[in-house]
Structure 1
Amino acid sequence: MMEDFDEIYEEEEEEEEEEDEGRAAEEQLLKFGPEPVLVRGAGRATVFGLSNKFETEFPSALTGKVAPEEFKASMSRVNGCLRKTLPVNVRWLLCGCLCCCCTLGLSLWPVICLSKRTRRSIEKLLEWENNRLYHKLCLHWRLSKRKCETNNMMEYVILIEFLPKIPIFRPD
């Protein structure tokens, strides 16, 4: 009876080794893929690293991957979301800064919560865009926190990653 158990255990180890080899192959595909495209904030105001609008200029790295009209439509949706929410965040930030001494910093909590809600709404919008179009084109859009080029501050950028094509002839 103990011998039967060992045989099953050995088969499971072989399956795990095959899965590890498959993961290593996928990681290698991602490693040698093209560099992701960064879309930086282009607005004048920035609240907690989130700019009030993103660049709408079509990046040359996406030529042949996505239509410029689709790119601009997606960016206009993101910028529309920012246009609705960021002015409210700026007003709360000003009120929070004015009352900061009296409230021992607690007046800044509404701004932090609103900023987090804005980031989540943009992430949901990008997820919707990915499911609607970009995953079919082997692209993945996401909001990413990066260090600014000019100073040590952090900013949010839209990162467009190239997904590897799934080999359909590989067995499951």
Structure 2
Amino acid sequence: MSVLLPNMADFDTIYELEDEEDEHVVSEEHLPRYCPEPVVMRGAGHITVFGLSNRFDTEFPSVLTGKVAPEEFKTSISRVNACLKKNLPVNVKWLLCGCLCCCCTVGCSLWPVICLNKRTRRSIQKLLEWENNRLYHKLGLHWKLSKRKCESSNMMEYVILIEFLPKYPIFRPD
């Protein structure tokens, strides 16, 4: 009685099947991924300069339960609020000064306010990116500052969007 053993050199070789059904394989970018709607954190302050409110509410949204600890959420919002608290009063002072001198300077006195507001937005975006890299990307979340239309008027406002990152199917081979 003889037993045929496979050649050990061919044991780990992966062969590509020549089959017509391979053309019907769907790539991963066409697979539907379940991703809930992003959480919108609107400004809750009493002063708004060029769409940027002076603070965001630290109340924990119930949608994030089980995704992030309420303490971490509150710490992140508090960091954003601290940045706004530091920068926005200066913007308001320049805005008042610019409005008083607007007629004499043909509107050029408002440029410092616009530049300061842009710098404030950039610092918040950098802060949110740091938070994302530190914690939220590991938890499947992405925070960003986004411009949205107000619900009550045609004005634009800046909100913090907390997006859920799509989960990739790990059971599919590379």
TM-score (norm 2): 0.83
Aligned to 1:73: 75
Amino acid at match of 2:92: V
Aligned to 2:15: none
SS at 2:67 equivalent: coil
Output one character per residue of 1:34-91: Cα deviation in whole Å (capped at 9) or x when no partner. Answer: 1110111000000000000001100000001000000000000000000000000000
1:98-117 correspondence runs (5 A): 98-117=100-119
Taking the aligned partners of 2:28 and 2:120, their CA distance within structure 1 comes to 37
Aligned to 1:169: 171
1:60-99 correspondence runs (5 A): 60-99=62-101
Aligned to 1:158: 160
What is the aligned counterpart of 2:29 among 7, 23, 40? 23
Taking the aligned partners of 2:79 and 2:171, their CA distance within structure 1 comes to 37
Taking the aligned partners of 2:170 and 2:37, their CA distance within structure 1 comes to 24
Amino acid at match of 2:30: A
SS at 2:171 equivalent: coil
Amino acid at match of 1:22: E
Taking the aligned partners of 2:105 and 2:68, their CA distance within structure 1 comes to 50
RMSD value, Cα: 1.5
Output one character per residue of 1:102-158: Cα deviation in whole Å (capped at 9) or x when no partner. Answer: 110000000000000000000000000000000000000000111111111110000
SS at 2:163 equivalent: strand
Aligned to 2:44: 42
Taking the aligned partners of 2:168 and 2:123, their CA distance within structure 1 comes to 29
Larger Rg: 2
TM-score (norm 1): 0.84
Taking the aligned partners of 1:57 and 1:133, their CA distance within structure 2 comes to 19
Task: Give the share of equivalent positions with the same residue, in percent.
Answer: 77
Taking the aligned partners of 2:80 and 2:30, their CA distance within structure 1 comes to 35
SS at 2:143 equivalent: strand
Greater share of helix: 1
Unaligned runs of 5+ residues in structure 2 are 1-23
Amino acid at match of 2:147: K
